[in-house]
């Protein structure tokens, strides 16, 4: 099994890269999706969130009010730490279950937004970082996602600095340009992952694989 950490700042295009890799054959473990699952109605996770932040974080039908909670925690580092302390252990446990179910020959891509922030790079055989300039991230968040500029800047500020992500990267995907420029890069990275997985499986192979397709600088 080749374990890959995939990360990138909000608005950098990590989700599109994840989608492409899944299409090529990767087993994608999506931390964001799992984070939503562990706070669904009736879960211990949601009960813990309500205990920490009060019933105002629920919608009338008992769902988690994600935009409301986001506005609350992304403007207050202490509250964000409280939320992360609830959700992250639950996400980690579920991610481990999904990885174990993938099989020994799988290329497992862990799509983890806060990989750099939480010091998780050592958990993976390599780390792929989807990179975009802060100006590009801001434009995408306000244009495509409809955030106000203040909301977008708050979300960006709650994540690691660009340099922190690049510092843990094995491979960097530059997504500062148009969407059509992304797929050829991701295809090349997939070919690299396949080569690394084959080398890892070979008794004579280097467990860390072959030369990088797009090495971090």
Instruction: Please list the pLDDT of the chain residue by residue as tens digits (217 residues).
Output: 999 999 999 999 999 999 999 999 999 999 889 999 999 999 999 999 999 999 999 999 999 999 999 888 988 889 999 999 999 999 989 999 999 999 889 999 999 988 998 899 999 999 999 999 999 999 999 998 889 999 899 889 989 899 999 999 999 999 998 889 999 999 999 999 999 999 988 766 544 433 333 333 3
Q: What's the number of domains the chain is made of?
A: 1
Look at residue 208 and tell me if it is in a domain. no
What confidence score (pLDDT) does residue 156 get?
92
Q: Any residues with CB less than 8 A from the CB of 14 and at least 6 apart, and which?
A: 6, 7, 8, 111, 113, 130
DSSP string, 120-140: -GGGSSEEEEEE--HHHHHHH
Run of H or E including 129: strand 126-131
Look at residue 212 and tell me if it is in a domain. no
CA distance 179 to 174: 11
Look at residue 151 and tell me if it is in a domain. yes
Look at residue 207 and tell me if it is in a domain. no
**DSSP tag of 100:** H
Tokens of 4: 């890959």
Q: Any residues with CB less than 8 A from the CB of 152 and at least 6 apart, and which?
A: 11, 137, 138, 141, 142, 145
What confidence score (pLDDT) does residue 34 get?
95
Q: Using the Cα atoms of residue 181, residue 146, residue 117 and residue 25 in order, give the sign of their dihedral.
A: negative
Q: Give the rounded distance of the alpha carbon of 23 from its chain centre.
A: 17
What confidence score (pLDDT) does residue 207 get?
45
What confidence score (pLDDT) does residue 146 get?
86
CA distance 86 to 116: 19
Tokens of 109: 């891509």
What confidence score (pLDDT) does residue 63 get?
95
Tokens of 170: 């094995």
Q: Any residues with CB less than 8 A from the CB of 95 and at least 6 apart, and which?
A: 29, 31, 34, 110
Q: Which residues constitute the domain of residue 106?
A: 2-201
Q: What CATH number is attached to the domain comprising 90?
A: 3.40.50.300
Look at residue 217 and tell me if it is in a domain. no
């Amino acid at each position: 099994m080749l374990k890959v950490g995939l990360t990138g700042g909000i608005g950098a295009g990590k989700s599109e890269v994840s989608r492409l890799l899944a299409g090529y054959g990767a087993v994608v473990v999506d931390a964001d999706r799992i984070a939503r699952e562990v706070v669904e109605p009736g879960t211990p996770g949601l009960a813990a969130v309500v205990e920490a932040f009060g019933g105002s974080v629920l919608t009338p039908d008992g769902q988690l009010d994600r935009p409301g909670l986001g506005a609350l925690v992304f403007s207050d580092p202490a509250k964000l730490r409280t939320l992360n302390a609830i959700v992250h252990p639950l996400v980690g446990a579920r991610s481990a279950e999904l990885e174990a179910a993938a099989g020994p020959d799988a290329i497992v891509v862990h799509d983890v937004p806060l990989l750099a922030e939480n010091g998780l790079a050592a958990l993976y055989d390599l780390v792929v970082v989807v990179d975009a300039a802060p100006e590009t991230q801001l434009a995408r968040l306000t244009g495509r996602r409809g955030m106000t500029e203040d909301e977008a800047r708050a979300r960006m500020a709650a994540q690691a600095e660009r340099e922190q992500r690049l510092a843990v990267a094995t491979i960097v995907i530059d997504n500062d340009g148009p969407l059509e420029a992304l797929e050829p890069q991701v295809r090349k990275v997939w070919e690299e992952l396949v080569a690394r997985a084959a080398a890892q499986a070979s008794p004579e192979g280097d467990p860390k694989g072959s030369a990088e397709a797009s090495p971090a600088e």
